[in-house]
Chain A
């Protein structure tokens, strides 16, 4: 499964309770669309740390890194390159 598929299926299953790919656009704002709330963000971070071997630091926890599938993918790629 590609990185994109892994992130998408986690969000679809955990927060939208579906496998219907059409309900989530990679550019959708997860907070803005009410897909994820504050505890959901924590769960998302735990998922990223567990499945992609990255450490999400305090200063990484910003919407620019986490608020859409596209942003998460870009963040993961940056993190994985820097390690």
Chain B
């Protein structure tokens, strides 16, 4: 059985104590320092009486504190719930209640820190990073706790993490991941990426999503280094950092690469150390794949596919097949079986479109406290991904669309219903339909169609302002169109596919 994530980190700390584990701005943390912090966090939580399986939520942007807290919770036998830092207080408190968190580690600089810590009073114990809030514990005190002598042993099926993914406000969806899920997926990714301890990745992906989560764990598992870059807003700076940090790897979603390709000339930078690029999080237009290959011909580009429900990764396209299998998500990663099945659950013939089903040690045990939602996607250990695809005669998979109406914008998966619910709260809204429409950079952007109540005039800015108050910024519609009717089926269901073909 492979070592758990914490034991692998411990191994790296013992073998290469002085090697850089994390870089963030001016801060550079060695494996020894990181491991000491992890043991201090674990000791603090255990001294405070943390029960096994107790949920510890994090509301932290990518930082060294995030990593110490994440591994510290695991080392204490707890369950990490890393919350989406773009979310508003209403969703954050909703998730904290849903997973019955006993602790929250939050950054005082977070825009919702005040509202969330207020909600936590009397319900959830709070540790505050970068500041002080009354009646809470300070992160500095946590880090100076005398280190725990060891990590709490766990079995592979013990729960390690819950990731809240695209549910609605009324029904959050918490993907449960076991220690076995995390280590299995890490092992598979290491096998096909061939990562080693000399690797240094420049990371722009949020760790609270499964993709960033896997980038973090895989690099720490081999004793490599993760250089945290806060954002992509200044592409020139990102490229300079790739060069000055002598990064060997870089990972992004399609919009990451679209953004870089649109603003900087990749070939103008000294990137002799760069060895691999990885891309997941939705289909990247083949034209951008070609542009990347042309600009960086010496770099191996891995196109990948996965889901949070599968820990992160399900398939990859070997770089040497990029040319003849352009547009494919490749083949199953080691240890995973993928199948294309029709509506009856029977394997489809080659080139026949059906739903992707996945099987392997990385498939989640289910959604937290939601057996009904779990039953809808898990069948005898197989995960129904909701993605429609065909497999060609060589066994390569090609995605053709999704079964659900989920919107994928940048790195985010968004349930349209959540936005529709928010807009429907506005006075004067009769009916509303929210869809994803094509966008060159983000893949899709959100568009809202609103049928106002008779005699009411609404203003797009008013709708966006309301969404801005209620929802994370990436869920605010890019455009709002008022209509006199919405296209419907005979049974009264809105024909969203007709709306989704328009532009923003």
CA distance A13 to B459 in the complex (A): 12
Q: Is B410 an interface residue (CB 8 A)?
A: yes
Q: A16-B468, A18-B465 are in contact. Are A38 and B237 (CB under 8 A)?
A: no
In the complex, the answer to whether A38 meets B259 with C-beta atoms within 8 Å is: yes
CA distance A61 to B237 in the complex (A): 8
Q: Is B232 an interface residue (CB 8 A)?
A: yes
CA distance A38 to B442 in the complex (A): 11
In the complex, the answer to whether A31 meets B236 with C-beta atoms within 8 Å is: no
Q: Is B233 an interface residue (CB 8 A)?
A: yes
Q: A58-B265, A59-B236 are in contact. Are A38 and B464 (CB under 8 A)?
A: no
Q: A34-B111, A38-B259, A39-B442 are in contact. Are A18 and B233 (CB under 8 A)?
A: no
Chain A, interface size category, equals: 20 to 34
> In this complex, what residue of A is CB-closest to B467?
A17
> In this complex, what residue of B is CB-closest to A15?
B473
In the complex, the answer to whether A61 meets B232 with C-beta atoms within 8 Å is: no
In the complex, the answer to whether A42 meets B461 with C-beta atoms within 8 Å is: no
In the complex, the answer to whether A37 meets B465 with C-beta atoms within 8 Å is: no
Note all chain B residues with C-beta closer than 8 A to A19: 461
Q: Is A63 an interface residue (CB 8 A)?
A: yes
Most buried by A among B231, B264, B474: B231
CA distance A31 to B237 in the complex (A): 15
In the complex, the answer to whether B441 meets A42 with C-beta atoms within 8 Å is: yes
In the complex, the answer to whether A17 meets B262 with C-beta atoms within 8 Å is: no
Q: Is B263 an interface residue (CB 8 A)?
A: yes
In the complex, the answer to whether A31 meets B233 with C-beta atoms within 8 Å is: yes
Q: Is A41 an interface residue (CB 8 A)?
A: yes
Note all chain B residues with C-beta closer than 8 A to A81: none
Chain B, interface size category, equals: 20 to 34
In the complex, the answer to whether B441 meets A39 with C-beta atoms within 8 Å is: yes
Q: Is A62 an interface residue (CB 8 A)?
A: yes
> In this complex, what residue of B is CB-closest to A32?
B109
CA distance A49 to B329 in the complex (A): 37
- What's the minimum C-beta distance from A49 to chain B, rounded to whole angstroms? 12
Q: Is A36 an interface residue (CB 8 A)?
A: yes
Note all chain B residues with C-beta closer than 8 A to A36: 233
> In this complex, what residue of B is CB-closest to A12?
B461
In the complex, the answer to whether A31 meets B231 with C-beta atoms within 8 Å is: yes
For B470-481 the 0/1 string (1 means CB < 8 A from A) is 000110100000
Most buried by A among B111, B233, B236: B233
- Quick one: which of B446-491 are within 8 Å of A by CB? 461, 464-465, 467-468, 473-474, 476
Note all chain B residues with C-beta closer than 8 A to A16: 468
In the complex, the answer to whether A17 meets B264 with C-beta atoms within 8 Å is: no
Note all chain A residues with C-beta closer than 8 A to B262: 42
Pick the contact of B231: A33, A37, A59, A66 (CB < 8 A).
Answer: A37
In the complex, the answer to whether B255 meets A61 with C-beta atoms within 8 Å is: no
Q: Is B234 an interface residue (CB 8 A)?
A: yes
In the complex, the answer to whether A39 meets B461 with C-beta atoms within 8 Å is: no
CA distance A40 to B259 in the complex (A): 11
- What's the minimum C-beta distance from A73 to chain B, rounded to whole angstroms? 18
In the complex, the answer to whether A39 meets B263 with C-beta atoms within 8 Å is: no
- What's the minimum C-beta distance from B371 to chain A, rounded to whole angstroms? 36
- What's the minimum C-beta distance from B218 to chain A, rounded to whole angstroms? 24
In the complex, the answer to whether A37 meets B233 with C-beta atoms within 8 Å is: yes
> In this complex, what residue of A is CB-closest to B268?
A58
In the complex, the answer to whether B233 meets A58 with C-beta atoms within 8 Å is: no
Q: Is B386 an interface residue (CB 8 A)?
A: no
Pick the contact of B410: A33, A39, A41, A45 (CB < 8 A).
Answer: A39
Note all chain A residues with C-beta closer than 8 A to B233: 31, 36-38, 40-41, 63, 66
Q: Is B235 an interface residue (CB 8 A)?
A: yes
CA distance A19 to B37 in the complex (A): 46
- What's the minimum C-beta distance from A29 to chain B, rounded to whole angstroms? 11
- What's the minimum C-beta distance from A80 to chain B, rounded to whole angstroms? 21
> In this complex, what residue of A is CB-closest to B256?
A38
In the complex, the answer to whether B232 meets A38 with C-beta atoms within 8 Å is: yes
CA distance A17 to B259 in the complex (A): 24
CA distance A37 to B442 in the complex (A): 13
- Quick one: which of B407-451 are within 8 Å of A by CB? 410, 441-442
CA distance A45 to B441 in the complex (A): 14
For B106-119 the 0/1 string (1 means CB < 8 A from A) is 00000100000000
CA distance A59 to B441 in the complex (A): 21
Q: Which residues of A line the B interface, CB within 8 A?
A: 13, 16-19, 31, 33-34, 36-42, 45, 58-59, 61-63, 66
Apart from A37-B231, A37-B473, what are 16 other A-B pairs with CB-CB below 8 Å? A17-B464, A17-B468, A17-B476, A19-B461, A31-B233, A34-B473, A36-B233, A37-B474, A38-B231, A38-B259, A39-B441, A39-B442, A42-B263, A59-B236, A61-B263, A62-B234
A-B pairs with beta carbons under 8 Å apart, 12 shown: A13-B461, A17-B464, A19-B461, A33-B111, A34-B473, A38-B231, A38-B233, A41-B233, A58-B235, A58-B236, A58-B263, A63-B234
